[in-house]
Chains A and B, each alone.
Chain A
């Protein structure tokens, strides 16, 4: 099976700091991969390279066989971990903005997701709580019919009820034809939805495998393994 994401010895340096030191990672279609690591381990840098926002200093990353660029941006749906919604926008405006921007945006799906997430399309972005903003961002990203979904900390700073909604939305909207890469340090809440996990430490993948096989072989949960690797 062709890899949807193929990363070969990807390095990234910022001036004198090495953020990535040769990351090798492959993702096949129909898989949800957890990229797990503490703050500053290189997760976000890696995702930005996959999303085509940063260029690697060395090595190569291919998305659906292509170097990140115009084509890959059309098949990658990226949830960044920073704010990109404009404050004056209403929820409805944000949906329209995405609809104009992405040819694969499914407005019907967006409307269903807004209802599922209890979001009112007339609210302004400014008035939304942190959890509601995350739910809106995820709604927009999941409403695209992409080949690869890149979710950077979709659970960051969100209360447990909103977290559950977000997890449900991810599971319900996952399709066999696409793949997802999700970063988090809240491993416990989300480990059941991963096919594979990759632990990243100081810019390197230190452990990579199928989540169920790791549980069986180590007799530990992914959360426990995480705590062991990053203690």
Chain B
């Protein structure tokens, strides 16, 4: 599989320069693993290739790959490259963890708007029902 080709969304990634860029690159890769765009054992582009496509410092990319490796999401094979990790649990865990991040920040914002726990649940279930009905 060719990961990120010309015209692919990752090539037009707009970074938010207020946040560390290596974290944003990690998020892109994690999202692509969770959504299945990157499959288990897929090879990631080389640091240099990815850096020049995203127009970021190769050291930044290196840091993203190292952190992902430390978290057990990817692994490096000497001489051949970096690959998406193995095991279905990894993807499930990643999915749960990313969902938790989204929910945590959502709850924080809702609380700052003055919603309490049951009001948040009510609001969410109402919206999810509407989404269901509208397809």
Q: A interface vs B, CB < 8 Å?
A: 30-32, 164, 167-168, 171-172, 174, 176, 188, 191-195, 212-213, 215-216, 219-224
CA distance A167 to B18 in the complex (A): 20
How near does chain A come to B29, taking the closest CB pair, in angstroms? Answer: 17
Q: How large is the interface on B (under 10, 10 to 19, 20 to 34, 35 or more residues)?
A: 10 to 19
Contacts A171-B52, A172-B52, A212-B63 given: A195-B57 contact, CB under 8 Å?
yes
CB proximity to A under 8 Å, residues B55-99: 55-60, 63
Q: Please, how many angstroms separate the alpha-carbon atoms of A171 and B15 in the complex?
A: 17
Smallest CB separation, A217 vs chain B (Å): 10
Chain A residues with CB under 8 Å of B48's CB are 172
In the complex, 15 of the A-B residue pairs with CB atoms within 8 angstroms, ordered by the A residue number, are A167-B55, A171-B51, A171-B57, A171-B58, A188-B17, A192-B17, A192-B57, A193-B57, A212-B20, A212-B60, A213-B20, A215-B17, A215-B21, A222-B17, A223-B17
Q: In the bound complex, how far is the Cα of B20 from the Cα of A195, in angstroms?
A: 11
The smallest C-beta distance from B107 to any residue of chain A, in angstroms, reads: 20
Question: A171, B55: Cβ atoms under 8 Å?
Answer: yes
For chain B, residues 20 to 47, give those with C-beta under 8 angstroms from any C-beta of chain A.
20-22
Contacts of A215 in B (CB 8 A): 17-21
**Contacts known (A168-B52, A171-B51, A171-B52); A220 close to B18, Cβ less than 8 A:** yes
CB of B56 within 8 A of CB of A171, answer yes
Give the complex CA separation of A167 and B51 in angstroms. Answer: 11
Residues of B with Cβ closer than 8 Å to A? 15, 17-22, 48, 51-52, 55-60, 63
B15 touches A195 (CB 8 A): no
Of A172, A193, A216, A221, the residue contacting B56 (CB under 8 A) is A193
Min distance, Cβ B129 to any Cβ of chain A, angstroms:
36
**Contact A174-B60, Cβ < 8 Å, known A212-B20, A215-B19:** no
Chain A residue at minimum C-beta to C-beta distance from B51: A171
Measured CB to CB, the nearest residue on chain A to B20 is A212
> What's the Cα separation between A216 and B58 when bound, in Å?
19
- Across the two chains, which residue of chain A brings its CB closest to B57? A193
A192 to B59, CA, bound (A): 11
* Bound CA–CA A221/B57 (angstroms): 15
Complex-state Cα separation, A212 to B20, whole angstroms: 5
- A224–B22 touching, CB < 8 Å: no
A193 near B18: Cβ-Cβ < 8 Å: no
Partner of B59, one of A164, A195, A219: A195
Tell me which residues across on chain A come within 8 A of B51, comparing CB atoms.
171
7 tightest CB-CB pairs across the interface, nearest first?
A221-B17, A212-B20, A192-B56, A193-B57, A216-B20, A172-B52, A221-B18
Most buried by B among A31, A168, A172: A172
Among A31, A164, A192, A224, contact of B21 (Cβ-Cβ < 8 Å): A192
Closest chain-B Cβ to A167's Cβ sits at a distance in Å of 6
Instruction: Evaluate contact between A219 and B18: CB separation under 8 angstroms.
Output: yes
Docked complex Cα distance between A191 and B55 (Å): 10
- A193 and B17 contact, CB distance less than 8 A: no
B55/A193 in contact, CB under 8 A: yes
* Inter-chain pairs besides A193-B56, A195-B60, A221-B18, 6 sampled, C-beta below 8 Å: A171-B57, A172-B48, A215-B21, A220-B18, A222-B17, A224-B18
A30: which B residues are within 8 A, CB to CB?
59
Q: Which residue of B lies closest to A167 (CB)?
A: B55
